[in-house]
Amino acid sequence: MTEQPSSDPSVRARPVAGGPPVVGVVGGGQLARMLAPAAARLAVPLRPLVRDHDESVARVHPDVVIGAADARGLRALAAACDVLTVEHELVDLDTLRALEAEGLPVRPSADTLEIAVDKVRQREVLAAAGVPVAPWRLVASLEEAEPFADAHGWPLVAKAPRGGYDGRGVWFVDDAGQLAEVLAEVAGPVLLEPALPIERELAVLVARRPAGEQVVYPPVETVQVDGICHEVLLPGHLTDAQDRRAREIGALVADTVDSVGILAVELFVVDGDVVLNELAARPHNAGHVTIEASITSQFENHLRAVLDLPLGDPAPRVGSAAMVNVLGVDDLDPRTRLADALGHPGASVHLYDKGPRPGRKLGHVTATGEGLTAAREHARRAADALAGGPRRSEQEATT
């Protein structure tokens, strides 16, 4: 999703006219691909902005605009939709602001996206609203870092102030020498945080309408390896107090950033308390489990919110559910292993039709049931079968 070649934007298929509002989506990856069936069910016209016809959503959806997430592409999409949303945050925010000023509903707004992308502003705005955030400091040099290192001790975590996902833009630094390397690589200030003794990672999804009506999904536990989400568990291994606190924080963050659509709030459990990690103002990997596990999926509630329609019930339909990502181990198309994966009859397989390569998210598998352990085991086996082998570390196996 990072490289968006500036091809000629061209609109395909039906123009905007009378009839139901067309939802334009910036981005054509798996999130747009999973939005498509939610839109089809409601007979809502969906029009993603994609790089080319080989992108994940374009392989299963007839109505796309070709272009990059730059000024030209965004304007082509804007001309072909009635409300604009995103499946990723790597968007030209200046153009989004201009489109908002011209009267196009942009949901989430450019302001919300800015807060999701800009980690410094995010921490300032949320801390001011009472959201618990870890200690942090923006530093441009080793001298500026010294007091923070003295206060919290090495190792520290350094983060690029903007962008970064799936572990990119985040470094563990053991000493001043390593920090100097990161400062040189980023070529600008970096955000420092203590290396927190993280007990668990959580995510809470909030679906929110333009006037502020919102529903909060039950918190899930996310199992991350090297910053990449491997598994999602519903319910997570949380105390009642942590569960309540995660929901409170999710609702507070959504109101504070004035989100519209799905807001994914990633959280840490540290010393038993819940603190903010990151935000994403869009459907999120942590919410894929809602397709099978929830009365209303994150994808449908994103569309409902973006269209300012009543939100659906976020409660689970099932006792427990586990989602395991299919992370490429080799260069083989996971479809060649479909028969093996489907041999696990309780697993719901989702493939994204993306070119396979090691480490790439090629799909996910969800299993539901009364017992979380069994669901997790079913999902893992099918995901391993698709990927061509397990990608879990020893650490994760004991989580």
Residues that bind a second copy (CB under 8 A): 19-20, 33, 36-37, 39-44, 58-62, 292, 295-296, 304, 309-313, 317-318, 333-335, 338-339, 342-343, 345-346, 348-353, 363, 368
Q: Do residues 281 and 89 touch, judged by C-beta distance below 8 A?
A: yes
Nearest CB to a second copy, comparing residues 42 and 198? 42
CB of 369 to a second copy, least distance (A): 8
CB of 68 to a second copy, least distance (A): 21
Nearest CB to a second copy, comparing residues 268 and 299? 299
Residue 371 identity: G
CB of 303 to a second copy, least distance (A): 10
CB of 166 to a second copy, least distance (A): 21
CB of 314 to a second copy, least distance (A): 9
CB atoms within 10 A of CB 325: 22
Residue 283 preceded by cis peptide, ω within 30: no
CB of 261 to a second copy, least distance (A): 15
CB of 20 to a second copy, least distance (A): 5
**Bridge partners of 202?**
221, 267
CB atoms within 10 A of CB 125: 17
Q: Do residues 223 and 231 touch, judged by C-beta distance below 8 A?
A: yes
| Nearest alpha-carbon partner for 375 in 339, 304, 324, 314 | 324
Nearest CB to a second copy, comparing residues 111 and 300? 300
Nearest CB to a second copy, comparing residues 4 and 368? 368
Nearest CB to a second copy, comparing residues 209 and 391? 209
Is the C-alpha dihedral spanning 316, 165, 153, 397 positive or negative? Answer: positive
Beta strands in the chain (DSSP E): 10-11, 23-26, 46-50, 65-66, 83-86, 137-139, 156-159, 170-173, 190-194, 198-208, 214-216, 220-225, 228-234, 261-270, 273-280, 320-327, 348-351, 361-369
26: phi then psi, degrees, rounded to nearest 5: -80, 115
Nearest CB to a second copy, comparing residues 245 and 378? 378
Q: How many residues does the chain have?
A: 399
Nearest CB to a second copy, comparing residues 171 and 299? 299
**Pairing mode of beta strands 65-66, 10-11:** antiparallel
Nearest CB to a second copy, comparing residues 158 and 383? 383
Nearest CB to a second copy, comparing residues 138 and 309? 309
Question: What is the 3-class SS of 170-197, one letter each residue?
Answer: EEEECCHHHHHHHHHHHCCCEEEEECCC
CB of 64 to a second copy, least distance (A): 8
CB of 59 to a second copy, least distance (A): 7
